[in-house]
Homo-oligomer: A and B are copies of this chain.
């Protein structure tokens, strides 16, 4: 395997469409000359890459909300980095920027596809609470889920980047926050440092439904689901009247080689006059500033805590991605490039 060298660009490309969990041979490492920016473009050296469950979907062929990553193409991904060379007036060398610049050390981007970080904002925050992670939690919970003070918010994947934000925003918003996670460490983290009202380790509980009845005695008003599968199906049995089920993802299904099992208890939506709704954070682009202002304030006030799970080196990104699926990741998973 080649490793990156100063003076060349190092890239991770999709070599094959994975079946089940992605394996080394589904990726390809390439080394190229560093690209030069054209008129209106900026050359960025990426410093951190975000690893997200959605990437597994982008590797799959077929209809979705974005085209799949093509075979041979650089893997898609959000990054933060530093401007090296600029051919636009808006950006200057040394600026810290965020963008969808992919699994690579250097990238050329149009100015409109870059977002400058305000001075003093640590770059990693732009991939976490102030980036897509935070935006997803904020709009998913407050807009799609329409969480109201006094309600019970249940979130699956609660030890993950989005889930851990959802519970904290729910608490700030005056809701009861209950998290479902897969290790005792994650459960301790979310009820301890993050202040969730309760946590359930779905891998060790003998009866998730009974645990939901116990931790959510008035039923679940908002279920923010990152996981799908049996967790979704069981949560449907404990919805409160007029509940909202926010479909953010279904990480339990992303590597499935069988067609996904649907939530057999979906008729609970009828009995409870409830709704299940999917969303994509990109649709809220015009309102990101609102969420960033709120989350920035909560961070400054010490009301939001975050944790990063850092993988070192782009060449370790493919293996790092698996941390999202094997339960070992807590907090925001990123690659230091």
- Interface residue ranges, A against B (CB under 8 Å): 63-65, 228, 233, 247-250, 253, 259-280, 283
Please list 12 pairs of residues, one from A and one from B, whose beta carbons are closer than 8 Å in the complex, sorted by A's number: A65-B270, A65-B272, A233-B262, A249-B270, A260-B264, A260-B266, A261-B262, A262-B265, A262-B266, A266-B266, A269-B278, A276-B277
Q: Name the B residues within 8 Å of A276 (CB-CB).
A: 266, 269, 275-277
Q: Name the B residues within 8 Å of A259 (CB-CB).
A: 264
What number of copies of this chain does the assembly contain?
A: 2
Q: How far in angstroms is the closest Cβ of chain B from A67?
A: 12
Q: Name the B residues within 8 Å of A247 (CB-CB).
A: 266-267, 269-270
Establish whether residues A253 and B267, one from each chain, have CB atoms under 8 Å apart when the complex forms.
yes
Q: Which of A233, A249, A268, A269 has the most C-beta atoms of chain B within 10 angstroms of its own C-beta?
A: A269
Establish whether residues B267 and A264, one from each chain, have CB atoms under 8 Å apart when the complex forms.
no
- Provide the bound-state CA to CA distance between A63 and B263, in Å: 18
The residue that A278 contacts in the complex, of B248, B264, B273, with Cβ under 8 A, is B273
- Other A-B pairs, 5, CB within 8 Å; known A262-B262, A273-B277: A65-B271, A247-B266, A247-B270, A267-B278, A275-B276
Q: Name the B residues within 8 Å of A267 (CB-CB).
A: 228, 247, 250, 253, 260, 278
The residue that A273 contacts in the complex, of B260, B275, B283, with Cβ under 8 A, is B283
Establish whether residues B270 and A280, one from each chain, have CB atoms under 8 Å apart when the complex forms.
yes
- Provide the bound-state CA to CA distance between A257 and B33, in Å: 64
- Provide the bound-state CA to CA distance between A265 and B63, in Å: 12
Establish whether residues B279 and A273, one from each chain, have CB atoms under 8 Å apart when the complex forms.
yes
Q: Which of A253, A260, A283 has the most C-beta atoms of chain B within 10 angstroms of its own C-beta?
A: A260
The residue that A277 contacts in the complex, of B233, B275, B278, B280, with Cβ under 8 A, is B275
Output the nearest chain B residue to A64 by Cβ-Cβ distance.
B271
- Provide the bound-state CA to CA distance between A278 and B228, in Å: 19
Q: How far in angstroms is the closest Cβ of chain B from A119?
A: 35
Q: How far in angstroms is the closest Cβ of chain B from A335?
A: 25
Q: How far in angstroms is the closest Cβ of chain B from A217?
A: 16
- Provide the bound-state CA to CA distance between A253 and B264, in Å: 10
Establish whether residues A264 and B266, one from each chain, have CB atoms under 8 Å apart when the complex forms.
no
The residue that A63 contacts in the complex, of B248, B271, B280, with Cβ under 8 A, is B271
Q: Name the B residues within 8 Å of A270 (CB-CB).
A: 65, 247-250, 278-280
Known contacts A253-B267, A259-B264, A266-B263, A278 near B272 by CB under 8 Å: yes
Q: Name the B residues within 8 Å of A265 (CB-CB).
A: 260, 262
Q: How far in angstroms is the closest Cβ of chain B from A326?
A: 21
Establish whether residues B271 and A278, one from each chain, have CB atoms under 8 Å apart when the complex forms.
yes
The 8 closest A-B pairs by CB, nearest first: A262-B262, A270-B278, A269-B278, A275-B277, A262-B264, A262-B263, A276-B276, A260-B264
The residue that A275 contacts in the complex, of B64, B260, B263, B275, with Cβ under 8 A, is B275
Q: Name the B residues within 8 Å of A266 (CB-CB).
A: 247, 260, 262-263, 266, 276
- Provide the bound-state CA to CA distance between A130 and B266, in Å: 29
